[in-house]
Amino acid sequence: MNSPVYRFAPSPNGHLHLGHAYSAILNDEAAKQNGGRFLLRIEDIDTIRCTPQLQEDMLEDLKWLGLHWETPVRKQSEHFSEYTKALAQLEAMGLVYKAYLTRAQIKRFFAEQDASDTPWPRDPDGAPLYPGDDNVLSVQEQQAFQNSAAPYALRLNMAKAIELAGSALSWNEAHQGKIQADPAAWGDVVLARKDTPTSYHLSVVVDDSLQGITHVLRGKDLYHATSVHRLLQTLLDLPEPHYEHHDLILDETGRKLAKSAKDTSLRELRASGATPLQIREELGL
Ligand code: GLU
């Protein structure tokens, strides 16, 4: 068997915190224990929020923790054309549509729905499912959008995608075994945003495949996203990695750490005198 390939894939849209340190160290250790490789991937498709300075800080924090990764590091913003190619494959299968609704239109629609007896369905992260332009706009309004230069996102027609991929999708979760995937829970996910020619889901499955990732070890916050990833992998004929979703590091109120919270950022901890060893001890590693 080829040696396993692990990756840590942070987004430099804020400073790394203890939760990132936990995930990065777990990946590094798993690679070492299993005679595998450890890759770092910079997920910076959001070129506004992900700045060169934050990226530099991120690399510095990871080096300070004592981590080593292979170079060159894959930076998603340098590979938009590869995601566009995958998107074209899905388009050719008739699975992609232009979604024009503005934030204000969507917000108004959800407010109306939630005021009714049956609140609009939510995805596993709690966000309302995209309603589809035809649910919100009249035929004339839809035509006006299509004839205009208004920006649009590209979305996956989830029902059609599941029909094509088959509903028997699953993944192998470490310590648990086979998990039934439920991509329908996410509705018509975004494949390319209005301001970016790709999306998190699309670029992550393309990159995991291109980089030969065999083991995706990441936080439990992305557990349900795996359903969408398995669907896209199946449609695009990409290999299926092993998955393991580790516990999240929580703050003292039991909430997930945020990049905006200063007290758990690795920079702040370092500035207040913490050592990499203390960080590992605090994380129980
Ligand atoms: N870039 C994602 C994040 O920072 C992680 C993606 C992944 O591990 O699949 O949350």
Under 8 Å between Cβ of 48 and 15 = no
In angstroms, what is the span from residue 55 Cα to ligand 1's centroid? 15
Segment 93-121 shows an average pLDDT of 93
pLDDT above 90: residue 186: yes
11 Cα to the center of ligand 1, angstroms: 7
In the chain, which ranges are continuous DSSP H helix?
18-33, 52-64, 80-92, 103-114, 133-136, 139-146, 158-165, 200-210, 225-236, 266-271, 276-282
Question: How far is residue 163's CA from residue 190's CA, in Å, rounded to a whole number?
Answer: 18
What atom in ligand 1 is closest to the CA of residue 225? 9
> How far is Cα 170 from Cα 195, in angstroms, rounded to an integer?
32
- Mean pLDDT of all residues belonging to the chain: 95
CA of 10 to the centre of ligand 1 (A): 5
Q: How far is CA 102 from CA 47, 107, 132, 133, 203, in A?
A: 21, 9, 12, 10, 24
Q: Residue 264: what pLDDT?
A: 86
Q: How far is ligand 1, taken at its centre, from the CA of residue 118, in Å?
A: 33
If you take atom 3 of ligand 1, which residue's CA is the nearest one? 10
**Residues having CB within 6 Å of any atom of ligand 1:** 9-11, 43, 204, 218, 222
Look up the CATH number of domain 1-78+250-285.
Answer: 3.40.50.620
Assess whether pLDDT exceeds 80 at residue 260: no
Q: How confident is the model at residue 5 (pLDDT cuts 50, 70, 90)?
A: very high
Q: Whose CA is nearest to atom 4 of ligand 1?
A: 10
pLDDT in tens, 6-51: 999 999 999 999 999 999 999 999 999 999 999 999 999 999 999 9
Distance 187 CA to ligand 1 centre (A): 20
Distance CA 150, CA 110 (A): 22
Test site for ligand 1: of 171, 216, 222, 223, most ligand atoms within 8 A of the Cβ: 222
The mean per-residue pLDDT over the stretch 111-132 comes to 92
CATH 3.40.50.620 residue spans of the chain: 1-78+250-285, 80-211+218-245
End-to-end CA distance of the chain: 28
How confident is the model at residue 171, as a pLDDT? 98
Q: What angle do CA 234, 240, 241 make, to 5 degrees?
A: 150
Tell me the fold of 80-211+218-245: Rossmann fold (3.40.50)
Residue 249 has pLDDT above 70, yes or no: yes
pLDDT of residue 166: 93
Segment 122-140 mean pLDDT: 94
What confidence category does residue 1 fall into, taking pLDDT thresholds of 50, 70 and 90? Answer: low
Distance 211 CA to ligand 1 centre (A): 15
